[in-house]
Amino acid sequence: MPASYDVVVIGAGTGGYVAAIRASQLGKKVAVVEKQTSLGGTCLIWGCIPTKALLEHAHAFKIVLNSDEWGIALPYGAPAIDMRQVHARKDRIVTGLTKGIEFLFKKNKIDWIKGTATLAGRGRVEVVEGEKQVLEAAEIVIATGSSPRGVPGIEIDHTRVITSDEAIHLQEVPKSLVILGSGAVGVEFASIFRRFGSDVTIIELLPRLVPIEDEAVSAELEKAFKKQGIRSLTGTKATKASATGAGVEIEAQGPDGKTQKLTADILLVATGRGPVTTGLGAEALGIAMEKGYIKVDTLYRTSVPNVSAIGDVIAIDGRAHPQLAHVSSAEGIVVAERLAGRDARPLNYDHVPSCTYCDPEIGSVGLTEAAAKQQGYEVRTGSFPFGVLGRARMAGETEGFVKIVADKKYDEVLGVHMIGPRSTELVAEAVLALRLECTVEELVKTIHAHPTFSEAIGEAAHAAHGAAIHM
Ligand SMILES: Cc1cc2nc3c(=O)[nH]c(=O)nc-3n(C[C@H](O)[C@H](O)[C@H](O)COP(=O)(O)OP(=O)(O)OC[C@H]3O[C@@H](n4cnc5c(N)ncnc54)[C@H](O)[C@@H]3O)c2cc1C
């Protein structure tokens, strides 16, 4: 007899494992099918956690490289990065966290079925590789995530031309690294390997780095990268790349139409990710798809009853769906609550924080200045530079600013965009401000502790009302 569950989740990434835990907390009998040998999916194994661990190493190295400034005497000569220790520490962090999810599964009595799942008809999931079996499920949640996507004409050989999955495991610091794409993944690896000593060039098709961010943020990042020695080729299209014994030869067409040749030890293709649905049997079950993604409504129902989908694998509501760990987890909670008969409400995707952990960090939420104008708002903005703050000077992190975008008529905060120290943490205040439909006046009246980086938010609010105190 097949094992029978209230909910079978396919995929134990940040979407699937959170959905499973919440469903179990709400009284459901839950199994999760996961084909990897550890839980946590992209975020824990190749994504958020290992990259941010490497970025912490890069930050530590930055302090050591400036040891004179910090008054730290290094008796053994010039500091160097030890990649063996870097990877050992990163792997310990990853293992600790994936084991943590195993513990949570046990605590919540969730069965982890180790293998690859396929949809085998209404209410049936077949595990076709690994622990082969058939599972009966009153509800199925697809959370199979995404994988790196290439660029036409550029073959990924996983050695010289690599994706983030390989970049995270590079055992040696490449002498030279070319990165295709300046989204979060591209600029984070640029920050890591530049700090570790690589000669880094970024090729971005669009006219500016981190193109989804506010234009002022893009300009500040490009300035900061230039200072660090990272070359940014914006408005440039990589047309060809061929791996040679010694490295990679790349051809790229600049904004003037001229082709230039670049060579590098490694080419990292960081141009986005596509859905993982191969072999899943979604189409055969009649699930409506959109460019390979699983189409869902705002409560994550697919076109087939009792089958839901969440996370990187979905297309929702005709709009770009953010492929972020915290988004997939939030969707996991909504879907679990709906399946448990709770009052589940659609998420507001306008209030999703976007964090990029490059150096300097970027945190943003809501409308950019350009988007607000495009939507017809009469916009007012206020900016405040971190460099003025005592706390930023103490940390030696004086680049960047906080920018508030507000509606002039009602004073409502429409977006907050920051680049600079701790921006990925500071953005939390901005997310709450948007969720509570806060006015700039309320931010002005909010007391920010001194000396902190968060003072930049209060000061940017003052600036939006005409005058910052410390400028
Ligand atoms: C380098 C990098 C850095 C990132 N950094 C951040 C960050 O800092 N912050 C952030 O919010 N997001 C970040 N992301 C994005 C984030 O990792 C993803 O948005 C998130 O992991 C999506 O979660 P998911 O559950 O939808 O899918 P995934 O995490 O991809 O999980 C899907 C799981 O399903 C399993 N699976 C697939 N098919 C099957 C099958 N048929 N049977 C069984 N199992 C299956 C896979 O093995 C996988 O474990 C980063 C991504 C990358 C690549």
Q: How far is the CA of 311 from the centre of ligand 1 (A)?
A: 8
What is the pLDDT confidence band of residue 406, given thresholds at 50, 70 and 90?
very high
* Neighbouring C-alpha atoms within 13 Å toward the C-beta of 271: 19
**Distance, CA of 88 to CA of 85 (rounded, Å):** 5
Q: Residue 42 Cα, ligand 1 centroid: separation in angstroms?
A: 3
Q: Is ligand 1 within 6 A of the CB of residue 331?
A: no
268 lines ligand 1 (CB under 6 A): no
Distance separating alpha carbons of residues 387 and 408, to the nearest angstrom: 27
pLDDT of 2 reads: 84
Q: pTM above 0.95?
A: yes
In the prediction, which pLDDT does 319 show? Answer: 78
Closest atom, ligand 1, to C-alpha of 40: 49
Place 173 in a pLDDT band, splitting at 50, 70 and 90. very high
For residue 2, whether the previous peptide bond is cis, meaning omega lies within 30 degrees of 0, is no
Tell me the CA–centroid distance for residue 200 and ligand 1, in Å.
26
CA of 202 from ligand 1 middle (Å) equals 24
| Residue-level pLDDT at 32 | 98
Helix (H) or strand (E) holding 42: helix 41-45
pLDDT tens-place string over residues 292-351:
999 999 999 999 999 999 999 999 977 789 999 999 999 999 999 999 999 999 999 999
- With both helix axes pointing from N to C terminus, report the angle between 83-107 and 48-65 in degrees, rounded to the nearest 10: 140
For residue 161, how far is its CA from the centre of ligand 1 (angstroms)? Answer: 21
For ligand 1, pick from 33, 144, 334, 431 the residue to mutate: most ligand atoms within 8 Å of CB.
144
> Which pLDDT score is estimated for 15?
98
The answer to whether residue 227 scores a pLDDT higher than 80 is yes
Residue owning the nearest CA to atom 37 of ligand 1: 144
The residue to mutate among 43, 141, 142, 364, having the most atoms of ligand 1 within 8 angstroms of its beta carbon, is 43
The active-site residue out of 326, 450, 462, 465 is: 450
**What is the tens place of the pLDDT at every residue in 49-61?**
999 999 999 999 9
Angstrom CA distances, 232 to 152, 226, 412, stand at: 21, 8, 35
Give the per-residue pLDDT at 222.
Answer: 98
DSSP-assigned states of every residue in 318-354: TBPPP--HHHHHHHHHHHHHHHTT-------GGG--E
Query: What number does the ligand 1 atom closest to the CA of 311 have?
Result: 26
Q: What's the rounded Cα separation, in Å, for the pair 251 and 279?
A: 35
Measure the CA–CA gap between 163 and 180, rounded to whole angstroms: 10
Q: Which one, of 311, 300, 312, lies nearest residue 337 by Cα?
A: 300
What is the per-residue pLDDT for 144?
Answer: 98
**Ligand 1 nearest atom to the CA of residue 14, by list position:** 25
Per-residue model confidence as pLDDT tens digits over 125-147: 999 998 899 999 999 999 999 99
Q: Is residue 288 pLDDT above 80, yes or no?
A: yes
Is the CB of 325 within 6 Å of ligand 1?
yes
d(CA 194, CA 190) in angstroms, rounded, equals 6
Q: How confident is the model at residue 1 (pLDDT cuts 50, 70, 90)?
A: confident
Is any atom of ligand 1 closer than 6 Å to the C-beta of 287?
Answer: no
pLDDT value at residue 76: 84
**pLDDT at position 123 over 80:** yes
Tokens of 9: 């989740």
Task: Give me the count of residues in the chain.
Answer: 471
pLDDT tens for 430-453 read: 999 999 999 999 999 999 999 999
Please indicate whether residue 450 is annotated as part of the active site: yes
Sorting pLDDT into bands at 50, 70 and 90, what band is 367? very high
